[in-house]
Amino acid sequence: MTSDGTAIGTSDRFTASRRRQLLADGALVGVTFVWGTSFVLVKDVIEQVTPMVWLTMRFTLGALALALIALFMGRLRGLTWREVRWGALIGCFLWAGYALQTLGLQLTSASNGGFITGLSVVMVPIFSLLILKQKTNRWAMVGVGLATVGLVLFSLRIEQGVHINRGDVLVFTCAIAFALQIVTVSHVAGWADPIRITLLQVLFAGVLNGACALLFEGPVANISPEIWASAAYLGVVSTSLAILVQVSVQRFTTAVHTALIFALEPVFATAFGVWLQGDTFGPAELAGAMLILGGMLVAELGSES
């Protein structure tokens, strides 16, 4: 092959890889949008049922839906112990993230909780280096910095004073768990079956939530049909299908890009709160949202260079 032909072939491969990454990032934006829209629904539901019972319902129904999909598509036959081990580990991170966030938000403000949860965007590059041995390019790090400043402006009410309490510590550990979930999904996405690994992590998270509900909350009687309907929607759409998309496409993008995109979750949540519940959205929140978007764009465009 001539040197010109080789150059063209390399360019074509780069273009195809870049196209896959853009499609993957677009799919992850869709996942983040779904998660953001669920906040309004969860806020209403959690006033009627205890947190661990609610998470148990959500993850159990999600796991059931995924099990039916896997059974219908014949994916359960290829299940390996390697997938079980990694699915259990990722499920532990998923459970810890949701459980610690729920417990922490009972002891701290929503603004502190939103900001501290978003700090997973800073932790992902560190864990990617330590666990995956992947270095993050300078443009992605600039994007992480912009997104972090954006989270400060968007989430924290500095004029009201920022106080550290026990809830903040719990939410910080939740951010660590979510960062580890993103990084470990990046590790398994290249070789694991997406449906099986998603089923396993959702199933393990549901079992752990169920154990916590029995130990610390006890059974709940007379759960209304509306609560079950909400659990079914969030369990199937916002949990199982959203995580399935994440696992399926994350092989085509980086863990840092994924974390930057997930930093949009509070932006989407606030936008729907403004629309449906009359929440306020001031200049600081707007500036923060723009910085988060700017961080994503810097990382995205920088990856082309």
- Share the mean pLDDT of the chain: 84
Least confident of 14-28, 86-100, 139-153, 289-303: 289-303
The pTM score is 0.85
Residue 14 is predicted with a pLDDT of: 61
Residue 13: pLDDT band (50, 70, 90) is low
Distances from the Cα of 234 to the Cα of 42, 57, 85, angstroms: 9, 10, 26
Higher pLDDT, residue 197 or 160: 197
Does 284 have pLDDT greater than 50?
Answer: yes
Closest Cα to residue 121, out of 154, 148, 149? 148
Distances from the Cα of 75 to the Cα of 3, 72, 84, 250, angstroms: 44, 8, 14, 20
Closest Cα to residue 87, out of 63, 106, 69? 63
- Please list the alpha-helical segments (H only) found in 189-282: 194-216, 225-233, 242-249, 255-262, 265-277
Least confident of 94-103, 158-167, 255-264: 158-167
The residues, any chain, with a CB within 8 Å of residue 149's CB and separated by 6 or more, are 288, 291
Does 121 have pLDDT greater than 80?
Answer: yes
Residue 27 is predicted with a pLDDT of: 94
Does 24 have pLDDT greater than 60?
Answer: yes
Longest CA span, the chain: 74
- Contact between residue 24 and residue 250 where contact means Cβ atoms under 8 Å apart: yes
Cα distance between residue 202 and residue 235, in whole Å: 9
Does 241 have pLDDT greater than 90?
Answer: yes
